[in-house]
Structure 1
Amino acid sequence: MNATGWNILITMRIISTLLLLCVLSACATPAATPISPTPLPATPTLSSFASRDTLTGDWLGAGTKPDGTTASIQITLADSETKLSIEPRTQSWKLTVSHNNEAIEFSATGGTRDPFKQIEFTGTFINGVLAGDLNWDGTASAITFTPIAVVDQSILEKYEGVYRFESGRALGIIVSPEYSSDGLNFFSQSLMLTDFDSGALRGLYPFDDHTFAVGALRVVGAPFVGRIQFIMDDLLNSTGLMWWDDASGVTPSAASGQFAGRVQYTYEDVPFTSADGIQLMGRISLPESNAPLPAFMALHGSEQGTRDNFGSKVMAHFIISRGFAVLNYDKRGVGDSDGVYQEAASSSNLQKIAEDAIAGVENLASRPEIDAKRIGLIGGSQAGWVIPLAASQSDAISHMVILSGPVESTLQEDVFSSYTNDGDTATNYDDAKITQQLRDLKPGGFDPIPIIAELNQPGLWLWGSVDKSVPVTFSAENLQALIDSGKNNFSFEIFPNGDHNLNESSHGLFNEIPYSPRVLFYSALAEWLEENMLFRQ
């Protein structure tokens, strides 16, 4: 069959599938979700994503390493440079390329500290498809390279938002920030996708302006695990997306849900004033609703957090997807907020941040769109000290969620972090040994436990078992003692192989983050919110 006939067949199959989906949707009982998706759109356009007319540009493929594992290999072929890189590494190696008609060969040579000594490729470039055999230090594997496009930032920004399938499954999509450390990239080069059902956090790789492959891990693309295509209206705004479980598949996914409509919400930047007169800048995001919304104010850890950084956007998308409003903000002395930023977890600084949190909650409570009886605080790490402090000083705070937060004194947490080096480097680590040392160590500095013991608000703590910044075993012991004493308004969960950011991780090390397949806490938090907050008046 020629290319024209094949494209017609593909189009007919997609149209038939979408018509069938429309019929089934009309007969089925819709799933109960906080926000409904938009109607199913017209058939998306097809993309010749598997081929490119010229070799020039970036290509991505999955090759087999000598240990049998797979690596995502990117090659760049251009007049100015030819290079090979291995995701998520920032390092690249010069390629020697030979191209004769349809035949193409290239090779790269590594050094003593590199992940390979020699990588060689022998293959063809026929009808826009680059495929052949890859040899990695004597291990051969078949490989097909997929062309990766470059998409303008202004187009990527149109795709940021929350998308929901008919099943209720929600996705958050954010333009990738630029960040690398210790020779590793921590984000893809275009968009990042978070699946709030499975927790998958993946880079997206553009085939064209509207079509993207879903990467295998956070910053590891090949082998791709799916494909999405954004649906645009007449004004070129995204109204939804189509999903394929197979990156090269013809029929959109039936198991995962074919169409995800864009969740409608508004946001605005709002200043508010803390107790000491410092003006802070926040951003409130409001899902569409006919009734006052429950809400969260999201707090930062010790970092110089802003209302629109990657972590703030992901958290906002998750909260919006659950039908809550959210107030993110620039930490004092950061971004558009006045004051002086301080990282230290001193009692005085924690008190200032707690007052900032209370001011944000009061701002939320003053708005007619917000249910003033259902406003909570959510945050991680250092916020684990701030949130109980704020909750003890404000009746307006009705609930709290703490991610990877310490339930011990600042002195005890410092001792633990020094022992583990905060996960920045691999160290010998004996959890039983350090936990016993902390039990024997008298609390010092700020101690949240007496404050937590007096709180009556519902509270949830979520930890990862391989956290190298907070002593999870010791924190859980302390919280369990409070629960056993009668504080049944508290609960917690420890996720196996969860790091400080609650990414799935083998050892909780910082340099494992780019290889992480998912974030662990979304489903547990969604369940807790439904039980404790969403429908409680």
Structure 2
Amino acid sequence: MLPGFAFAQSDSFTVRDVKFESQGIMLAGSIVNPEKPFAAVVIVHGSDPVKREMEFARRLADKGIAVLTYDKRGVGESGGVYVGPSVGTNNIDTANLNLLAQDADAAVKTFRTYLKDKKIPIGLVGFSQAGWIIPIVANKDPEIKFMVLFSCPTITTLEQLRFQFYTNGNTNFWENHTQAEALEHIKNDPDKYQFVPTDPKASLNTLSIPGLWLYGEKDIQIPVKLCIEHLNTFKAQGKPFEYVLFSKLGHSTSSRNDTEPFDIAVQWIKQKTLNSKSLK
């Protein structure tokens, strides 16, 4: 682990660039820290070759949440090799998802050393592909006290591919197809790629930390209604999992264009972290 190599300050938060090691390579990121944070989060990427999410981190910091965001493996200033991005490549095979989970876990451990308040709760916030990664990290690291998942699957990687090939990028898909048709396709469509699927439910089944999923009903990347069915099953078992469905949104639920999901996520984090009983 290396100390921060750059330091900047705004009216409401400071920004410190950091580097840290994960599985033999160096990852580069930034810590965005408000003066008196009530919570801290590490941002977990989606599937694209994404650099650190500075705009999103600043939005969180403005609300009182400290953030560590980093360039994805093989992207920007981070070492290693980025895998992907083509749909169906080993971008979402078990080995790569577990490697990305190890990167996120290293980020959490690094973040803790920089936080002045050692008791501040740390959570994970992620997008899309992070739905497979975050449960793996949270299952292994007791430091993780909560998780917020924007448009994240609760289905297996192979099931997600079946659905994505079915919608084929058609933004009008839901105008011409029913939920029943989509579910039938996901259950029975032959797989175009052969690899061991990752099932987030395996990790979610062992977790007892609060989780919030935010979905757009018009999503054509993941079958939202099926994902919600799984969450309802967990909720019936007493899991502290919640979700919010936005009828007008698609896969993008974290943009500045519609702040409602973001605002709900911030309020949820505040509620969960300020209520210590829910974090035990």
Q: Equivalent residue for 1:470?
A: 222
Q: Does residue 437 in structure 1 map to residue 182 in structure 2?
A: no
- Provide the TM-score with structure 1 as the length reference: 0.45
Aligned to 1:300: 45
Q: Could you tell me which residue of structure 2 aligns to residue 265 of structure 1?
A: 13
Contiguous gaps of at least 5 residues in structure 2: 1-8, 85-90
Task: Decide whether the 8 Å contact of 1:408 with 1:448 is kept in 2.
Answer: yes
Q: Secondary structure at the match of 1:377?
A: strand
Q: List gaps (5 residues or longer) in structure 1.
A: 1-160, 162-261, 505-515
Q: RMSD of aligned C-alpha atoms?
A: 2.4
The alignment partner of 2:15 has SS state of strand
Residue 355 (str. 1) matches residue 107 (str. 2): no
**Larger relative helix fraction:** 2
User: 2: CA distance between counterparts of 1:401 and 1:368?
Assistant: 20
Query: Which consecutive segments of 4 or more residues in structure 1 shift more than 6 A?
Result: 441-444
Q: CA separation in 2, counterparts of 1:327 and 1:354?
A: 15
Cα pair 1:365 1:372 within 8 Å, conserved: no
Cα deviation for residue 393 of structure 1 reads 0.9
2:158 corresponds, among 395, 405, 411, to 411
CA contact (8 A) 1:273 1:359 kept: yes
Instruction: Give, in whole Å, the separation in 2 of the partners of 1:525 and 1:464.
Output: 14
Per-residue deviation, 1:442: 10
Q: Tell me the SS of whatever aligns to 1:418.
A: helix
Cα distance, 1:398 vs. partner? Answer: 1.2
Percent identity over the alignment? 34
2:65 counterpart of 1:324: yes
* Corresponding position: 1:500 with 2:251: yes
Shift of 1:447: 1.0
- Please list the CA deviations of residues 326-380 of structure 1 after superposition, one character each: whole Å capped at 9, or x if unmatched: 0010000101101000131010000000000000000111124244551111011
Residues paired across the two proteins, number: 257
Which has more strand, going by share of residues?
1
| Greater relative contact order (CA < 8 Å, ≥ 6 in sequence) | 2
230, 255, 261: which one aligns with 1:521? 261
Q: Select the structure of larger CA radius of gyration.
A: 1
Query: Alignment partner of 1:392: what SS?
Result: helix
Aligned with residue 74 of structure 2, among 315, 327, 333? 333
SS at match of 1:271: strand
Q: State the alpha-carbon separation in 2 of the partners of residues 286 and 396 from structure 1.
A: 19
Shift of 1:517: 5.3
For the structure 1 residues 268 and 466, does the alpha-carbon distance in structure 2 shift closer, same or farther, using more than 3 Å as the test? same
Q: 1:315 to 1:338 in 2, by over 3 A?
A: same
Change (3 A) 1:517 1:285: closer
Aligned AA (1:491): E
- The amino acid of 1:381's aligned partner reads S
Specify the code of the residue in structure 2 equivalent to 1:339. G
Q: One-letter code of the match for 1:433?
A: E
Q: Following TM superposition, by how much is the alpha carbon of 1:483 offset from its aligned partner in structure 2, in angstroms?
A: 1.1
- In the TM superposition, residue 318 of structure 1 has moved relative to its aligned partner by 2.2
Q: TM-score under structure 2 normalisation?
A: 0.84
Q: Is the 8 A contact 1:464 1:494 kept in 2?
A: yes
Displacement of 1:416 after TM fit?
0.6
Assess if the C-alpha contact under 8 Å between 1:373 and 1:396 holds in 2. no
1:313 Cα shift?
2.6
Given that 2:12 and 2:62 are in contact with CA atoms closer than 8 Å, whether structure 1 keeps it comes out as no
Q: Which residue of 2 aligns with 1:111?
A: none
Cα shift at 1:432: 2.5
Return closer, same or farther for 1:535/1:367 CA change in 2, 3 Å cut-off. farther
